[in-house]
Amino acid sequence: MKNILLILILLSPIFLHGEESWPSKLVVDYRSNPVTLHLVEVSDGFPHYTHPKLNGFLLRIAGRLLVKHEKTLNLSNLDDFKDTPQMPILKLNDHTMWTVVQLSNPQAVINAMVKLRHVPGVLLAEPDFLQLKITAARGEKARSESNETRYTAPQNYVRTVLNIKEWPLLAGENVNIAVIDSAFNIYDDSLNIPKIILNYNVHRRERIDKARIEPRTIFNDPYHGNASLSLLWGVGEQAKGLAPQASAILIERAVNWSSDLALALQLAQSAGADIIACPWTLRFTPQIVSDALDALTTMGREGKGAIVVAAAGNQYFNIDDSLSFAAEPNVLVINALSNGQLWPAQKKQFNAILPVPYLINFQGRTLSYSGTSSASVAVSGVIASLLSIDPALSRQEIEDLLRKFSSPELEVQELVKYVVAESKSNRNHN
């Protein structure tokens, strides 16, 4: 396979731009199978590639390279990498890992990809892609897809919308929920998070200092992140969240670099996440992200499998015929229902469907949180409640329960009652 990929890169027609030259086709891995990307344009010195299944999204190559290699191989010993900044970013097992390498420019990334395919111990070398909409790549207003919340008429708070009459008093107890979102304001009085295990910004590669207050932009506006937190840890008689006793792992990531996403998932696993709420989607899932998901959903929770819950996306596309994050086999994909109509993303079978929108409180205001983002976080809260009732439930058992109580909308109250009854029955038999 390495030789085939190398030939494809070397024999592709070359696109010249100034002093640089770019292959018109670039072969990368998607779930360990080759996918051919096509050069679309070069903007400000950065080449942008795409694929027919990306539906208007581009993959920008900048100056970082991702290398999957055997742990016994020290990349710093290679001539081309002796003086380059490097960071181990994902440990897959005792033998294999991913490292991100900072190079001087996109041309150096392309050249290094070709060279590394000859090096024993290197399993894969790919660009650290930045995923953008076409308009964003061409210099217009850029905004992460994770922040594209469709605003609909406010209705009510989440427990009311889901017709919850009875709920475990200690919902979320002994459960760790990781939320990966654009930004958070943990000092909002509308939240009460009992314990924050980790608060981290993956783009800056640093823990967030509680004392630091930063100016907010469209890239780190905490509205979307806090809306997610409100569904889990909201306070107030009406606005109470679904998992108030859970501990939080908060991971900020505002833009879609492959390395940022892989690091976010690795941090969630290292911090002991039981559930990972991903209220966003990607149109292309790089191999490093697939590897991180596979490790998390098989080795997480002491082998029971961590539960990754993702939004289906708020735009029309066929998930089953895509390269998207929502097409990953180990991800629970959640769609939303408004006024009796499903939101437009298509899939043969969603893992759960919930009605939206929900009211949330944010910095003294009452706002609406809608779309598949809000539905996915609500499902994460439901799952946290189930795990606080029965911690032994595996990822597969959770998936089976969601299917059992969907018709097609998830019957949340009946599901929780069933798990409570099963847990009592099991204790009585023991």
Indicate the pLDDT class of residue 13, thresholds 50, 70 and 90: very low
What tokens were used for 193? 């998070």
Taking the mean position of all CA atoms in its chain, how far away is CA 133? 17
Of 253, 269, 265, 261, whose CA–CA distance to 285 is shortest? 261
Q: What is the pLDDT of residue 430?
A: 58
Say whether 338 is catalytic: no
Q: What is the pLDDT of residue 219?
A: 52
Taking the mean position of all CA atoms in its chain, how far away is CA 60? 19
pLDDT above 90 for 139 = no
For 157-186, what is each residue's pLDDT tens digit? 999 999 999 999 999 999 999 999 999 999
As assigned by CATH, the class of the 145-429 domain is alpha beta
Indicate the pLDDT class of residue 5, thresholds 50, 70 and 90: very low
Mean pLDDT of 263-269: 97
Q: What is the pLDDT of residue 428?
A: 63
**How many other CB atoms are there within 10 angstroms of residue 150's CB atom?**
17
Q: What is the pLDDT of residue 220?
A: 62
pLDDT above 80 for 210 = no
Q: How big is the CA angle at 388 (ends 278 and 325), to the nearest 5 degrees?
A: 15
Number of helices (H) and strands (E), helices first, in the chain? 10, 23
Q: What is the pLDDT of residue 424?
A: 83
Question: What separation in angstroms does the CA of 202 have from each of 173, 258, 381?
Answer: 27, 11, 24
Looking at per-residue confidence, does 119 or 154 come out higher?
119
Instruction: Check if the beta carbon of residue 384 is closer than 8 Å to that of residue 351.
Output: no
Catalytic hit among 48, 51, 69, 224: 224
For 415-425, what is each residue's pLDDT tens digit? 999 999 998 87
Q: What's the one-letter identity of residue 164? A: I
Lowest mean pLDDT among 57-61, 125-129, 221-225: 221-225
Indicate the pLDDT class of residue 4, thresholds 50, 70 and 90: very low
Q: What is the pLDDT of residue 21?
A: 79
Looking at per-residue confidence, does 147 or 166 come out higher?
166
Of 265, 279, 256, whose CA–CA distance to 360 is shortest? 279
Nearest-angstrom CA–CA distance, 299 and 292: 10
Indicate the pLDDT class of residue 3, thresholds 50, 70 and 90: very low
DSSP 46-100: EEEEE-GGGSSEEEE--SEEEEEEETT--GGGSGGGTTS-EEEEEE-SSSEEEEE
pTM of the complete model: 0.90
Looking at per-residue confidence, does 78 or 133 come out higher?
78
Nearest-angstrom CA–CA distance, 18 and 289: 33
Of 243, 223, 247, 222, whose CA–CA distance to 233 is shortest? 243
The b-or-e profile of 385-412 (16+ CB within 10 A means b, else e) is bbbbbbeebebeebbebbeebbeebbeb
Residue 139 C-beta-side C-alpha neighbours within 13 Å = 6
For the chain, the average pLDDT equals 89
Indicate the pLDDT class of residue 214, thresholds 50, 70 and 90: low
Residues 6+ away with beta carbon under 8 Å from 69: 75, 96, 97, 98, 99, 121, 122, 123
Say whether 181 is catalytic: yes
pLDDT above 80 for 275 = yes
pLDDT above 90 for 141 = no
Domain borders along the chain are 2-137, 145-429
What tokens were used for 44? 């400000």
Catalytic hit among 29, 51, 128, 181: 181
Percentage with pLDDT > 70 across the chain = 87
Residue 200's beta-bridge partner residues?
207, 251
CATH of domain 2-137: 3.30.70
pLDDT above 60 for 213 = no
Catalytic hit among 144, 182, 373, 374: 373
Mean pLDDT of 292-301: 95
Residue given tokens 């710093």 in the structure block: 76
